[in-house]
């Protein structure tokens, strides 16, 4: 396991990634606000994971200690800085319009020691915001950092509903984004209809990943639709694969439509197959390019 450390998991941004900090010996509970050092400076966060031992190798970055549990003075300062950050959002939006920049201002965060004001924005293009930064700095007399976020991260800031009608997962529980590709939809036998598999952010739905591992396991050793297999020594075409019924329907060269349980493809050749009536002309062997003899 290697070296271990006693750590707390801290949320710096709402529904943002959990950052681990080492125990400082104080009595800290879930939900407490704590003062920590973030990549931007002296910051604060909320404890979302209680004290536990974790491998330093598993964490994968240099650990910093929690400075302190937020005091009453810290809590007042946090609230004051939140109001300044809200003002910064409004001021920056006006300055963006003044400079004619194509960018959407999403949020702002002022460090506890006022050393830096971080402003989050999104844009489909690269933006030259050097003059904008100068104007913001004149207004707030501190170091300004503009941080561009991607389309999926933008959704965390603007909130919204998913295609299911519920709150988008990334706005209330999904902290980290996995890579999603069309293979996730194809493996789950979904129709590749862009409108139905794309979220409000314009990217493939994050939920395509949620059941993907189940389908990988359920379809292990199962032939793909449209493929050709051997059945009782003869070629047969796979017409459908139904993961919920655990059944593969094939069409044989003899003109039979046969339903085979998944167990057949996992080594149990003695399982019962089912002959299906009402073969459609669409299944005719000779009408399929996959089965036409040279």
> For the segment 127-140, what is each residue's pLDDT rounded down to a tens digit?
999 999 999 999 99
Distance linking the first and last C-alpha atoms of the chain = 61
Residue 70's SS3 state is: coil
* Tokens read off for 192: 């590749």
**pLDDT at residue 2, as a whole number:** 74
Q: Do residues 253 and 285 lie in contact, with contact meaning Cβ atoms separated by under 8 Å?
A: yes
Residue spans per domain, the chain: 4-69, 76-149, 154-215, 228-291
Beta bridge partners, 148, equal 121
Would strands 116-122 and 143-148 be described as parallel, antiparallel, or unpaired?
A: parallel
Residue 122 has pLDDT above 80, yes or no: yes
Mean pLDDT, range 72-98, rounded to an integer = 98
Distance (Å, rounded) from C-alpha 192 to C-alpha 221? 23
CATH level 3 topology of 76-149: GMP Synthetase; Chain A, domain 3 (3.30.300)
Distance (Å, rounded) from C-alpha 280 to C-alpha 225? 17
Rounded to two decimals, the pTM is 0.81
């Amino acid at each position: 396991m290697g070296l271990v450390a006693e750590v707390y998991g801290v949320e710096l941004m709402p529904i943002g990634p959990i950052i681990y900090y080492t125990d400082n010996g104080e009595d800290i509970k879930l939900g407490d606000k704590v003062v920590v050092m973030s990549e931007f400076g002296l910051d604060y966060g909320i404890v979302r994971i209680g004290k536990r031992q974790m491998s330093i190798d598993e964490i994968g970055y240099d650990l910093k200690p929690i400075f302190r549990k937020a005091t009453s003075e810290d809590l007042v300062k946090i609230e004051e800085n939140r109001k300044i950050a809200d003002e910064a959002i409004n001021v920056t939006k006006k300055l963006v319009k003044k400079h004619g920049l194509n960018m959407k201002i999403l949020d702002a965060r002022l460090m506890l020691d006022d050393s830096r004001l971080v402003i989050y924005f999104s844009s489909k293009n690269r933006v030259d915001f050097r003059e904008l930064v100068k104007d913001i700095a004149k207004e707030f007399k501190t170091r300004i950092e503009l941080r561009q976020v991607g389309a999926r991260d933008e959704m965390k800031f603007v909130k919204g509903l998913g295609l299911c009608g519920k709150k988008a997962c990334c706005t209330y529980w999904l902290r980290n984004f996995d890579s999603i590709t069309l293979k996730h939809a194809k493996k789950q036998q979904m129709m590749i209809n862009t409108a139905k598999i794309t979220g409000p952010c314009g990217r493939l739905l994050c939920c395509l990943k949620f059941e993907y591992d189940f389908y990988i396991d359920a379809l292990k050793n199962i032939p793909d639709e449209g493929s050709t297999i051997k059945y009782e020594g003869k070629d047969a075409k796979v017409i459908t694969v139904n993961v919920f019924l655990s059944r593969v329907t094939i069409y044989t060269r003899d003109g039979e439509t046969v339903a085979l349980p998944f167990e057949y493809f996992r080594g149990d050749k003695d399982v019962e197959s089912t002959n299906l009536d009402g073969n459609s002309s669409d299944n005719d062997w000779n009408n399929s390019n996959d089965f036409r003899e040279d």
